């Protein structure tokens, strides 16, 4: 088990530690990416497990109760564990942590291996908003099943390498994945479209939810009116109440809020019904799935769903470790010079929030929460809402430097194809192509500085 790294408690206000020069472009508040919510106590393998530092005492017990339901495995119904039964009948994981180990990032299986592990595959058969679910398998491929049932398919990933060279002669290998899907039950539509995705890390979600929508809309430039080559646009989705809102969560901004994101994961990943998803993802072609025992109506009782929602909102971003280090400062300057901040907007101020301590916080997630064209290399050719098959929501960068310790890997991008941050940058195309090319033109020392900066966020 990894040792815990306990940090000296920084000042509760968002200021640089004593003696640190906060000039030359370093916002002193950036030391605390989550503002007053920032985890200033633990790093190492448990860096993403702390609640918001200013979480109200009345919510602390619910946070840890939600953590329990997030981490413990659900079981097939009927079972003596009535509060945690109803798994499946078809599913991808037995617990939320099955895709978010220690609240970290999921990873795909290695080339040639199965099952999917921390990766899921969305399905559709046309180009309408979100796609019509496959008549045989539904909207998500499930590669696991309860006893007595067969999973839908087995998936094996194959990867083809492409070598690129930097201006100073270094070789960077990119690995493009393809997915060999072997049906076990049912037969998918010949027009099947797939969208592989790994689970993102869980920190700061409640803060992202609290960024005023008006601030995100103000960053949008869908027609590239300023001519800078960046044309981010907002995703629009419908929430549980039927209101059209800004899509904030999921790789294409699938969900407008954390309740929709959590309930969607319970339904698609674990096969569990809730008040927001009252029906199992069983198609008319799957009578055994439809006739399987239920764990209740709904299977995730309202109070359990609410506990996991609160937990998901309250996981704190960790403190930065070396914001004043010369190489980090040099990397930050390069990050700005290369235009990375045009999409990875450094700072926001939160507005009204579901958790009282999240309101009015100056935060540094490095995202604009907008959709951007990332080019054909990263395309899934599966439109969703406002997003084309080449567009993805800008992912936050906070916490990326701790993924290797928290999640025991360094796989990045929506499907985990990048084996490190260098590959993740070089996969950027479309609106980010100019910045990508500028990165390839840096010296080895400059590339290292830029990566050191990103790893410190």
Q: Per residue in 171-215, pLDDT tens? A: 999 999 999 999 999 999 999 999 999 999 999 999 999 999 999
Number of domains in the chain: 1
Q: Please indicate, yes or no, if residue 113 is contained in any of the structural domains.
A: no
For the chain, 457 residues long, give each residue's pLDDT as a single digit of tens. Answer: 344 444 443 433 334 433 333 344 678 899 999 999 999 999 999 999 999 999 999 999 999 999 999 999 999 999 998 899 999 999 999 999 999 999 999 999 988 777 788 899 999 998 877 789 999 999 999 999 999 999 999 999 999 999 999 999 999 999 999 999 999 999 999 999 999 999 999 999 999 999 999 999 999 999 999 999 999 999 999 887 889 999 999 999 999 999 999 999 999 999 999 999 999 889 999 999 999 999 999 999 999 999 999 999 999 999 999 999 999 999 999 999 999 999 999 999 999 999 999 999 999 999 999 999 999 999 998 999 999 999 999 999 999 999 999 999 999 999 999 999 999 999 999 999 999 999 999 999 999 999 999 999 9
| Of 338, 332, 345, 339, the residue nearest 220 (C-alpha) | 345
Cis peptide before 89 (omega within 30 of 0): yes
Cα–Cα distance measured from residue 10 to residue 40, given in angstroms and rounded to the nearest whole number: 7
Q: Please indicate, yes or no, if residue 164 is contained in any of the structural domains.
A: no
Q: Please indicate, yes or no, if residue 94 is contained in any of the structural domains.
A: yes
Query: Are the C-beta atoms of 197 and 346 separated by less than 8 Å?
Result: no
Q: Please indicate, yes or no, if residue 168 is contained in any of the structural domains.
A: no
φ/ψ of residue 67, rounded to 5: -60, -40
Cα–Cα distance measured from residue 366 to residue 395, given in angstroms and rounded to the nearest whole number: 8
What is the CB neighbour count within 10 angstroms for residue 238? 13
List all residues 6 or more positions away from 121 whose beta carbon is below 8 Å from its beta carbon.
140, 141, 155, 179, 181, 194, 195, 196, 197
Structure tokens at 418: 């990048």
Domain hosting 237: range is: 4-107+195-456
Cα–Cα distance measured from residue 121 to residue 101, given in angstroms and rounded to the nearest whole number: 19
Burial pattern 347-377, b for ≥16 Cβ within 10 A else e, equals ebebeebbbebbeebbbbbbbbbbbbbbbeb
The DSSP secondary structure of 93-119, one letter per residue, reads: -SSGGGTSGGG----PPPTT--S-TTE
What is the CB neighbour count within 10 angstroms for residue 167? 13
DSSP 3-state helix, strand, coil percentages of the chain (rounded to 5)? 30, 20, 55
Q: Is 264 helix (H, G, I), strand (E, B) or coil?
A: helix
Burial pattern 41-60, b for ≥16 Cβ within 10 A else e, equals bbbebbbbbbbbbbbeeebe
pTM of the model: 0.94
Cα–Cα distance measured from residue 20 to residue 36, given in angstroms and rounded to the nearest whole number: 19
Q: What is the pLDDT of residue 21?
A: 39
Cα–Cα distance measured from residue 9 to residue 279, given in angstroms and rounded to the nearest whole number: 47
Torsion of CA 113, 119, 124, 129, to 10 degrees: -160
As a whole number of Å, the end-to-end CA separation of the chain is: 25
Q: Please indicate, yes or no, if residue 169 is contained in any of the structural domains.
A: no
- Measured N-to-C along each axis, helices 258-270 and 302-314 cross at an angle, to the nearest 10 degrees, of 120
Q: Please indicate, yes or no, if residue 147 is contained in any of the structural domains.
A: no
pLDDT in tens, 258-307: 999 999 999 999 999 999 999 988 999 999 999 999 999 999 999 999 99
| Of 394, 340, 349, 455, the residue nearest 47 (C-alpha) | 455
Query: Are the C-beta atoms of 123 and 427 separated by less than 8 Å?
Result: no
pLDDT in tens, 374-405: 999 999 989 999 999 999 999 999 999 999 99
Cα–Cα distance measured from residue 74 to residue 55, given in angstroms and rounded to the nearest whole number: 28
Q: Please indicate, yes or no, if residue 82 is contained in any of the structural domains.
A: yes
Give residue for tokens 């064209």: 373
CA distances from 453 to 11, 240, 331, 398 (A): 22, 39, 5, 11
Q: Please indicate, yes or no, if residue 185 is contained in any of the structural domains.
A: no
């Amino acid at each position: 088990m990894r040792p815990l790294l306990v940090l000296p408690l920084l000042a509760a206000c968002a200021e640089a530690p004593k003696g640190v020069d906060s000039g030359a472009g370093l916002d002193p508040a950036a030391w605390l990416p989550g503002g007053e919510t920032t985890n200033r106590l633990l790093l190492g393998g448990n860096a993403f497990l702390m609640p918001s530092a200013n979480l109200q005492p009345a919510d602390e017990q619910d946070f840890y109760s939600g953590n329990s339901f997030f981490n413990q495995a659900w079981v097939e119904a009927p079972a003596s564990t009535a509060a945690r039964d109803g798994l499946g009948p078809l599913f991808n994981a037995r617990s939320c942590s099955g895709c978010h180990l220690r609240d970290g990032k999921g990873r795909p299986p290695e080339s040639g291996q199965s099952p999917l592990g921390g990766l899921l595959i969305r399905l559709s058969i046309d180009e309408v908003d979100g796609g019509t679910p496959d008549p045989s398998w539904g909207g998500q491929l499930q590669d696991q099943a309860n006893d007595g049932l067969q999973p839908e398919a087995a998936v094996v990933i194959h990867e083809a390498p492409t070598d690129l060279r930097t201006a100073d002669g270094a070789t960077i290998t990119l690995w493009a994945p393809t997915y060999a899907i072997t049906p076990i039950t049912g037969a998918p539509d010949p027009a099947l479209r797939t969208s592989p995705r790994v689970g993102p890390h869980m920190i700061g979600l409640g803060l992202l939810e609290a960024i005023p929508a008006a601030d995100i809309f103000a960053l949008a430039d869908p027609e590239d009116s300023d001519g800078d080559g960046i044309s981010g646009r907002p995703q629009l989705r419908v929430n549980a109440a039927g209101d059209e809102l800004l899509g904030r969560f999921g790789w294409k901004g699938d969900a407008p809020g954390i309740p929709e994101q959590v309930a969607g994961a319970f339904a698609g990943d674990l096969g569990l019904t809730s008040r927001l998803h009252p029906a199992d993802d069983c198609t008319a072609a799957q009578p055994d799935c439809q006739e399987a025992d239920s764990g209740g109506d709904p299977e995730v009782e309202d109070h359990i769903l609410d506990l996991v929602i609160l937990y998901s909102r309250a996981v704190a971003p960790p403190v930065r470790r070396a914001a004043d280090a010369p190489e980090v400062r040099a990397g930050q300057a390069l990050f700005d010079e290369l235009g990375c901040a045009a999409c990875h907007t450094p700072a926001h101020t939160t507005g009204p929030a579901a958790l009282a301590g999240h309101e009015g916080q100056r935060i540094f997630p490095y995202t604009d929460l907008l959709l951007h064209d990332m080019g054909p290399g990263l395309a899934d050719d599966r439109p969703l809402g406002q997003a084309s098959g080449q567009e993805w929501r800008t992912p936050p960068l906070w916490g990326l430097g701790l993924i290797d310790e928290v999640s025991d890997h360094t796989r990045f991008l929506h499907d985990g194809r990048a084996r490190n941050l260098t590959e993740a940058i070089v996969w950027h195309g479309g609106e980010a192509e100019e910045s990508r090319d500028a990165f390839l033109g840096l010296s080895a020392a400059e590339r290292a500085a830029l990566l050191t900066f990103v790893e410190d966020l």
